[in-house]
Amino acid sequence: MDNNEKVGFHKGALDCLLKERSEFGRIISIVDALIQMHTKALSDAGVDIKAELEKAQAAAQNAQQQTQGGSAAQPAQNEDHFMNIDSAIDESKKNF
């Protein structure tokens, strides 16, 4: 493959990847809007979202520990995930 072919190949790959990244950003914004909508609907229905998330996370953590033998690194990872959920809930409350 000569140099011009290599350059063309890499330019084409970059163009494709940039378009895919743009599409992922669009999908993420749609998913975020849906999360906010459902969070608001649950709040309006009187559901304690934080309590429900804690129950779901505890169940997921127990299932994960059973399948992985309960490694010590998992709780910290789950804590980080919970912090992201908390910030998503806070963010959705700001927008509605």
On the CB side of 34, CA atoms within 13 Å amount to 6
Is the pLDDT higher at 36 or at 78?
36
Q: Which of 7-11, 24-28, 63-67, 75-79 has the lowest mean pLDDT?
A: 75-79
DSSP 47: -
Cα dist. 18→22, 26, 55 in Å? 6, 13, 39
Closest CA to 61 of 81, 90, 33, 85: 81
- Stretch among 15-19, 63-67, 76-80, 88-92 having the lowest mean pLDDT: 76-80
The pLDDT tens digits for 6-60 are 999 999 999 999 999 999 999 999 999 999 999 999 999 999 988 888 888 899 8
pTM for the model stands at 0.51
For the chain, the structural domain boundaries read 1-46, 48-91
